[in-house]
Amino acid sequence: MRDTVARISATFTTGRHLRDGSSTATGDAGASSVEYGLLVAAIAAVIVAIIFALGVGVKNTFNKTSSCVSAGASSTC
């Protein structure tokens, strides 16, 4: 019984909001979502670029260390 009353109440409340035009969503909500999406995409692109740039440096460091270890203790690195 309570479930039925809750559903009816929700239906009337939704109908009142639609009739009054007092919705929480505004016309700018879609534009804001797009702007936030573009901002997130730009930040992700910057992060990917930084990772690739650091990746090359880390790879070179590991290769140098590997060659020093392979050469043995007699060589200087």
- pLDDT by residue, tens only, the chain of 77 residues: 667 656 666 665 555 555 665 555 556 667 888 999 999 999 999 999 999 989 988 999 999 988 888 877 666 77
d(CA 12, CA 20): 12
pLDDT of residue 50: 93
Taking a C-beta distance cutoff of 8 angstroms, is the pair 64, 77 a contact? yes
Residue 1 lies in a domain: no
pLDDT of residue 47: 97
Dihedral sign from CA coordinates of 65, 67, 73, 75: negative
Residue 55 lies in a domain: yes
pTM over the 0.75 mark: no
Structural domain boundaries enclosing 59 = 25-77
pLDDT of residue 25: 55
pLDDT of residue 71: 77
Q: Tally the domains of the chain.
A: 1
pLDDT of residue 16: 57
